[in-house]
């Protein structure tokens, strides 16, 4: 049970900041201030008429808009920046300092910063970077506002008790930072390339070759009670069919585990199901409506010591 084994290490999903200036910015639009103009003046209120000043007939030049916010994030550097942000939070929560350097002394040995950053560059936060290693970088972009917000929120995660609200807010920004450009039916190698509400559905008849991943088609996400194992026996792929890149949106998960066993169900019995309440069984935090999946007992909880299971992994 690959997924359950991973959860034993960390409650991130198998594969799962914000300054005031960011709140005022958008990657693709801007807003004006003040109220709206009804277009009807009260009598005597038009100074241009009262003072015989000619009007311009509405030919004012368009208002200038602020340029899009640019945090300098790209599809080729965001994964490393997020890996560093996660490790800053981990070092702070595990060892007491976010600025620990390579081979800094910690309880039980020395901190392997490089190993930590490499691991989380691949994983991201709650698996938000998964798939970027096989994606065609021309098929993905980075939302500058959400990317910057992701980095800030991850670095600021509370500890030792991380709340579900803090985790889910960071997760939303980190997944939202990656922008898939492919439309439905386009060929893909990873769901990160597909636009919202789509997943890269395997085409078993096509072999990408080597480490290039699989070849598939961007396909509409499944809905409640629809199958998520009819095209694969890989639980990772099944999860992607229910929730966009296993991000928690929409709030569905692929129910592939029989917890009574525990065991993996036959793929033909996997279905997309609504997320569950705290105290319910879970495989990862994507299953929890308002909680975090605790790797200690695989239950959704309102808060957990999020980084504790990972502390020893980066000590050598």
Whole-angstrom Cα distance, residue 83 to residue 210? Answer: 26
Outline where the chain has alpha helix (H): 2-9, 20-23, 47-50, 78-95, 113-123, 144-155, 164-177, 235-242
Q: Does some domain include residue 41?
A: no
pLDDT at 140: 97
Domain count, the chain: 1
Asked if pLDDT for residue 211 goes beyond 50, the answer is yes
pLDDT value for 65: 53
In a domain, 46, yes or no: no
Tell me what pLDDT residue 233 has. Answer: 92
pLDDT digits (tens, 9 = 90+) for 114-129: 999 999 999 999 999 9
| Rounded-to-integer distance, Cα 279 and Cα 266, Å | 25
Tell me whether residue 56 is in a domain.
Answer: no
Mean pLDDT score, 73-84: 97
pLDDT of residue 203: 73
Please state, in angstroms and as integers, the Cα–Cα distance from residue 192 to each residue in 52, 168, 296, following that order.
61, 19, 30
- Structural domain including 299 reads 2-14+69-314
Residue 189 lies in a domain: yes
For residue 58, tell me if it sits in a domain.
Answer: no
Q: What is the pTM of this model?
A: 0.77
pLDDT greater than 90 at residue 200: yes
| 119 lies in some domain | yes
- Mean per-residue pLDDT for 7-30? 35
């Amino acid at each position: 049970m690959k997924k359950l084994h991973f959860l034993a290490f960390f409650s991130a999903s198998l594969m799962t900041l914000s300054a005031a200036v960011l709140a005022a910015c958008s990657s693709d639009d801007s807003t004006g201030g003040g109220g709206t103009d009804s277009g009807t003046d009260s009598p005597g209120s038009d100074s241009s008429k009262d003072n015989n000043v000619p009007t311009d007939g509405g030919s004012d030049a368009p208002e200038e808009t602020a340029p899009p916010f640019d945090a300098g994030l790209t599809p080729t550097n965001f994964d490393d920046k997020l890996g560093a942000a996660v490790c800053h939070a981990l070092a702070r929560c595990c060892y007491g300092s976010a600025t620990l350097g390579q081979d800094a002394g910690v309880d039980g040995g020395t901190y392997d910063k490089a190993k930590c950053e490499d691991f989380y560059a691949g994983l991201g936060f709650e698996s938000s970077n998964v798939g970027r290693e096989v994606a065609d970088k021309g098929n993905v972009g980075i939302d500058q506002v959400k990317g910057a917000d992701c980095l800030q929120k991850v670095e600021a995660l509370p500890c030792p008790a991380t709340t579900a609200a803090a985790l889910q807010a960071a997760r939303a920004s980190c997944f939202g930072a990656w922008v898939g450009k492919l439309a439905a039916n386009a060929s893909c190698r990873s769901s990160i390339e597909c636009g919202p509400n789509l997943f890269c559905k395997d085409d078993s008849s096509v072999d990408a070759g080597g480490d290039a991943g699989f070849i598939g088609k961007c396909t509409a996400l499944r809905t409640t009670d629809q199958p998520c194992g009819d095209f694969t026996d890989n639980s990772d792929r099944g999860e992607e069919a229910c929730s966009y890149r296993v991000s928690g949106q929409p709030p569905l998960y692929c129910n592939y585990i029989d917890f009574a066993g525990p065991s993996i169900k036959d793929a033909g019995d996997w279905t997309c199901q609504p997320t569950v309440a705290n105290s319910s069984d879970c495989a990862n935090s994507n299953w929890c409506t308002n909680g975090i999946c605790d790797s200690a007992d695989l239950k959704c909880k309102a808060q957990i010591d999020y980084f504790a299971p990972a502390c020893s992994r980066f000590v050598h």
